[in-house]
Amino acid sequence: MYRSYHSLFLSQFSRRSVLKSAAAAGAVALASPAIVSDALSSSGTLNIINWDDELPNPVIPDFEKATGIKVNSTPFSQNEEQINKLQATGGQGFDVCQPTHDRALQFKDIDVLQPIDIAKFDPTSVIVPGLLSASVKNWTWDGKLFHVPHVWGTEAISWRNDLTNIKPEELSFGTLWNDEYKGKVQGRPHSLLLGIGLWMDGAGKLPSNRMLDAYKDEASMKKIYDELLKFAIAHKPWIKQFWDSADNTKSGLKTNGVVIGQTWDGPAISMKKAGEPVSYQAPKEGAIGWVDGFSIVKGAKNIDQAYEWLKYTHTAPASAAAAENSGYNPSAIGAEKLLSDKARGIFNQAYPGKSIDTMWWRPIEPTWFADLRTQYAEKFKAA
């Protein structure tokens, strides 16, 4: 599953192609997209449940201005929070949600989505083909598509470059556990366990086929994660804070004494754009990649408005605005041409050399894996 996703993605969306097209375009101002459809001008509302940092201003205000549709946003900061809310309500109260690509089987199991009507929104002409292919492969069941990409990003290493001396060529997930960072590290419990696994596999300390063996079955996962948990608990004194949102990732680096951590790219890159002394880079094991997208909820009441949202957010200017102001990366064809010189420069620094080619794309997770992983994460957090 991982290798299929990896090859599909890279076949269409390489670092080289992004930077080549962006360089050719030069710096272009982010203009608001034109009105997507006259049919819904000044009509209706839309209820979305969305990642708390992936629809930055001016995305929603510009959509409301362009279409006349009022957006009611319910932000969340972890996939589990979104899944629990949708499962508890059967999807009632929401029109659009924002799943991450690796949660396809979990969303299929809880049965809260409706298929995307290709007659109302055809993604093939507006979304980067490699990204769309991954959604089509993993989010198609009963012959119908349930997910389209919105932004993609990574989880890697961020640090205060005024408080530490990082050698970029030596950066590793194992760097977090160096003695000088005791009491100064941040991360999510389950992500730190994964990073430890990738580091130990790369160092030959715990071979796991780059952690893919943990997805085979429960016995294989437990064998690997038992060892990861032992290391994590022994190094719990290294943890300054466990983050659970973009905001407290930022506050950890700004005011809470964090020097280094395993974080999403968006918060760290947005801080760097704002002039904060923060850097972000893929380690030698490869950054952990993900794609967040949009799905229409089974209980949606505002169907026409949901499709206007899909059309609008996948225009190049709207996709670029979401990426430029969040620190993540766009999915719409042509959006990369609208990113600023600063955004392209920071992308280059974050993913030097062959970093994109060595990325570790999150495999599609069975529900049993997600449940067990949560148990291990809670044990680490409570230790």
Tell me the β-bridge partners of 154. 289
Q: Which of 345, 328, 337 is nearest to 100 (CA)?
A: 328
Model-level pTM? 0.89
Extract the tokens encoding 107. Answer: 């969303």
Same domain, 235 and 251: yes
Where in the sequence is the domain holding 210, given as residue range(s)? 155-288+358-382
Q: Residue 25: phi, psi to the nearest 5?
A: -80, -35
Q: Strand, coil or helix: what is 208?
A: coil
Q: How far does the chain reach from its first CA to its final CA, in angstroms? A: 33
The total number of structural domains in the chain stands at 2
| pLDDT at site 134 | 87
Tell me the β-bridge partners of 241. 186
Same domain, 50 and 161: no
Same domain, 266 and 143: no
Q: What share of the chain is helix, strand, coil (3-state, %, to 5)?
A: 50, 20, 35
Same domain, 239 and 97: no
Same domain, 218 and 343: no
Q: Which of 102, 97, 121, 113 is nearest to 36 (CA)?
A: 121
Low-confidence ranges of the chain (pLDDT < 50): 1-42
Q: If residue 284 lies in a helix (H) or strand (E), which one and from where to where?
A: none
Same domain, 122 and 260: no
Same domain, 159 and 216: yes
Q: Strand, coil or helix: what is 186?
A: strand
Q: Which of 333, 380, 353, 327 is nearest to 131 (CA)?
A: 333
Tokens 């608001």 sit at which residue? 32
Same domain, 223 and 275: yes
Contact (CB, 8 A) for 46 and 309:
yes
Same domain, 103 and 32: yes
Same domain, 169 and 100: no
Same domain, 141 and 252: no
Tell me the β-bridge partners of 360. 288
| pLDDT at site 6 | 36
Q: If residue 261 lies in a helix (H) or strand (E), which one and from where to where?
A: strand 260-264
Q: Which amino acid is at 87?
A: Q
Q: Which of 171, 14, 123 is nearest to 6 (CA)?
A: 14
| pLDDT at site 39 | 43
Tell me the β-bridge partners of 329. 152
Distance between CA atoms of residues 138 and 104, nearest Å: 7
Q: Residue 140: phi, psi to the nearest 5?
A: -110, 120
Distance between CA atoms of residues 222 and 126, nearest Å: 42
| pLDDT at site 119 | 97
Contact (CB, 8 A) for 96 and 300:
yes
DSSP 350-374: HS-TTTTTT-EEPPPPPHHHHHHHH
Residue 316: CATH number of its domain: 3.40.190.10
Distance between CA atoms of residues 348 and 291, nearest Å: 19
Same domain, 369 and 272: yes
Residue 40's contacts (CB-CB under 8 Å, 6 or more residues apart) are 67, 68, 69, 304, 305, 308
